[in-house]
Structure 1
Amino acid sequence: MSEPFGREGLHLEQARHAVLADIQPLHGQEWLPLLQALGRVTAEPLFAPEAVPGFRAAILDGYAVADADEPPLSSHWQLVGLSAPGAPYRGVLAQGQAVRILTGAPLPAGAQRVLAQELIQRHGDQSIALALPTGSKLWVRGAEEETAAAQELVAAAQRLGPAVLGRLASCGISQVPVRAVPRIALLITGDELVPAGQPRPNGAIWESNGTLLEALLLRLGYTVSQRRVVADDPVALRSTLEELSVSADVVVSTGGVSAGDSDWIRPLMAELGQVEFWKLFLKPGRPFAYGRLDAPDGRSLPFFGLPGNPVAAAVTALQLLWPALQRLEGAEPKLLPRLQLPLARELSRAPGRPELVRARLLVNSDGGLAALVDGSQASSRIASLQDADLLLELPPQADQLPAGRLLWAQLLRLPLF
């Protein structure tokens, strides 16, 4: 089979650009309660139905007074009532009067400021006096502090996190319109695979890519709707691909994508659809294919042929499949944040391809950060992913990298809010 992008394969950035240029967002949307919408992408913008909080409120416990200017020491006020959250004072505050007010409670009409209770000397239940200077701060939250009426709260095509959902709830919104989420079909290939928990014959391995990839996708917010494990048989693989394509929006395989005698995925991609490109100029992850799979109902589905080695499969899924899934949801793809870090210790490697090395993030005693590479980086060794904080980007020709060398690294962390 010809290699349309050359013998070495595509650079990662080129491959990502080619994939995203080929992906169009799915159609359809649904309305969901707020908690069910966590992690989903908005289908349309949402606006505040009214101002929030909608009233001026006390920022701290104290006394609301009508003084516009900073009152002098020994000023006195007559206590006329109480304003509490959910139980506001209904009267109009006049000069020389004060209302006991609790944090978050509405300011009475006529009130201009709140005097912190620590500054006040109280004379029974009848009056108060100012014992310490107030300063210029009013300690009043504005009626539109969170939002004005009709203000946009969240734009379309935005992923919903806890902060946005909490803000929507604070504005009285209980449901949101979200885009369709892609249905993912996962195919794991190999004659040597045995399910975990079953006896393992000589030469066989326990199947782990399915668990690794499905768990990774769950961590990223996506559910695998179908998962099949099939031997390296072209007839069985063709039948399975046709079956999976019926009720999927994207098909992902792992294994069988190289150029060996039992590697049938790429020829089947060409037979059942088309191969857009094959091979990456990357370590781990060189045997990777992207293309299209023609479904029986006439749809053309994105097809990702991931490598068979588990680390390579996980890394390429993170670099190429994840951005594509975001695009399918109608969101602008966001990649892992990058930062420059010094190497904690010297690193030797064989030059040739750019490499994404699994590393840990160290915090020195002085608060400085460094990247530590420890243990084998074999693409078959899942342990290299365990406890990894970083994907350290090694240049293709670098061989001896001294301690302290600055390198770009991708931070393996997702935002909390």
Structure 2
Amino acid sequence: MPEIPAGQSRTVLSLEEYRDEVLALVSGPTPAETVSTADPRALLGRVLADDVTSRAPVPAFANSAMDGYAVRWADLAVGASLHVVAEIAAGDRQDPTLGRGECAQIMTGAPLPRDADTVVPVEATRPAGATVTITQLPAHGRGAHVRGAGEDLAAGDTVCPAGTTLDPAWLAAVAAAGCPEVSVRRRPVLGIAATGDELVPAGSELARGQIYESNGTHLAATAVRLGAEVAATTVIPDDEDRFVAALDELSAGCDLVVLSGGVSVGVHDVARIVLGEQADGTFRHVRVQPGKPQGWARWRGRVPVLALPGNPVSTAVSFELFGRPVLDRMLGRPAAPLGRAVAAHGWSSPPGRRQLVPVRLSSDADGRLLAQPAHRRGSASHMVTSLAGADALAEVPEDTIDVVEGDVLTTRSLR
């Protein structure tokens, strides 16, 4: 393999500058497709391409919020006895007429008779055969314990805006709005590869210099969690011809290829060499730690490629910083909100680079959210176990070299 020319340097960019550069690899969201709401499993985690609007008012009719008696407010007084003329259960279609001094026994969720305007809970009454005596007036007065028609949504109101990721709560809202189908973005299809002669699959006997491959597993699982489909995950050795063949196969039918390893300036960094020579690859140094060396290209002039560094924490942090925004754009989804947490204790940070530290989050007695590094080595790029216990990444600004207990830090959720 060719040696790196003496004195070779790379353009140095900030996190935001490089993120904007790789975002330009994708022009916009994937096409929309229509999916039935009959099976929520098919929609869980999908991203809406269009707003979902309510087909009818929610609730569709005025109904009781309590088990009790539907009454006319004008008939109420402590000690008043009302004649029970009907019993209404949830799902009943009857609408009994209520005259002066009359009421209907009603169950939670049952439609309110049009002549009634209030519900008295059963615990505020004393039933006796066909009559009921009021022992306590509803504290909220006329309209108490009545859910009004359209109180939650009017017909035509937006239930979920485009860009919403459908979780169980949103799926319930779509179902309540009576929508038989929704328009969602097609899942982006990813090809994922880890590079390096040292990588072997789990279960193999390790020879000297070999390690078990884990980056592909992490990237694939993260991509699926974020709404993508993974077409293939593979390992590519440090051989140019085999790298080209593997990348040709991996990129077929994919919207994005993500590589880990081989992006630095070493003489065996095959991803940099092949992408640079055959795909006009662009390689940068980004002012972050871990994850300084980064690269991108278009394989065969068509398929976007993100080339991430190979140390496990570097790979994970890099995908969070750069891969996730690309997926968000492909899905038409807004970026995840950033959080804030207080440093539980102090640690050091490299000057001139934004440090991303895997942290565990917890609350103290005052309700403050605390960030505790998940590993004693902080953001050491090879400490793969630090990711397993982490809830988020805590950001330390470039101009900070010592984090002090109590410092407020920006956080990026990993959950």
Q: Same fold (TM over 0.5)?
A: yes
Asked if structure 2 preserves the Cα contact closer than 8 Å seen for 1:88 and 1:108, the reply is no
Determine if the alignment matches structure 1 residue 319 to structure 2 residue 325. Answer: no
Q: State, as a whole percentage, how many aligned pairs show the same letter.
A: 35
Tell me how far 1:247 sits from its aligned partner: 1.2
TM-score (norm 1): 0.90
Tell me how far 1:268 sits from its aligned partner: 2.2
Asked if structure 1 preserves the Cα contact closer than 8 Å seen for 2:283 and 2:293, the reply is no
Unmatched segments (≥5 aa) in structure 2:
none
The whole-number CA distance in structure 2 between the counterparts of 1:120 and 1:87 is 23
Determine if the alignment matches structure 1 residue 250 to structure 2 residue 256. Answer: yes
Tell me how far 1:28 sits from its aligned partner: 2.7
Determine if the alignment matches structure 1 residue 10 to structure 2 residue 13. Answer: yes
Asked if structure 2 preserves the Cα contact closer than 8 Å seen for 1:29 and 1:179, the reply is yes
Instruction: Describe the superposition over 1:163-204 as per-residue Cα deviations: whole angstroms up to 9, x where unpaired.
Output: 221112122223222111111001211011111101111111
Say which of 374, 382, 386 aligns to 1:384.
Answer: 386
Instruction: Describe the superposition over 1:338-382 as per-residue Cα deviations: whole angstroms up to 9, x where unpaired.
Output: 2141x2223134434211012222322343332222411320110
Amino acid at match of 1:130: I
Tell me how far 1:309 sits from its aligned partner: 0.4
Instruction: Describe the superposition over 1:21-55 as per-residue Cα deviations: whole angstroms up to 9, x where unpaired.
Output: 44222443322233111111222222222223221
Q: Secondary structure in 1 aligned to 2:216?
A: helix
Determine if the alignment matches structure 1 residue 355 to structure 2 residue 355. Answer: yes
Structure 1 stretch 347-356 or stretch 381-390: which is displaced more?
347-356
> 2:171 maps to which residue?
165
Compared CA separation, residues 400 and 54, structure 1 to 2 (3 A):
closer
> 2:287 maps to which residue?
281
Tell me how far 1:386 sits from its aligned partner: 2.0
The whole-number CA distance in structure 2 between the counterparts of 1:26 and 1:244 is 21
The whole-number CA distance in structure 2 between the counterparts of 1:336 and 1:293 is 32
The whole-number CA distance in structure 1 between the counterparts of 2:337 and 2:157 is 30
Instruction: State the Cα RMSD in Å.
Output: 2.1
The whole-number CA distance in structure 1 between the counterparts of 2:251 and 2:350 is 40
Map residues 237-316 of structure 1 onto 2, 5 A cutoff: 237-294=243-300, 300-316=302-318
The whole-number CA distance in structure 2 between the counterparts of 1:394 and 1:88 is 62
Tell me how far 1:60 sits from its aligned partner: 0.4
> 1:368 maps to which residue?
368
Compared CA separation, residues 148 and 317, structure 1 to 2 (3 A):
same
Compared CA separation, residues 253 and 161, structure 1 to 2 (3 A):
same
Compared CA separation, residues 190 and 336, structure 1 to 2 (3 A):
farther
Q: Secondary structure in 2 aligned to 1:291?
A: strand
Asked if structure 2 preserves the Cα contact closer than 8 Å seen for 1:390 and 1:411, the reply is yes
Say which of 149, 155, 166 aligns to 2:161.
Answer: 155
Instruction: Describe the superposition over 1:219-269 as per-residue Cα deviations: whole angstroms up to 9, x where unpaired.
Output: 323231112211111111112212222211101111111111111212322
Determine if the alignment matches structure 1 residue 203 to structure 2 residue 203. Answer: no
> 2:128 maps to which residue?
123
Q: Secondary structure in 2 aligned to 1:385?
A: helix
Q: Secondary structure in 2 aligned to 1:288?
A: strand
Unmatched segments (≥5 aa) in structure 1:
none
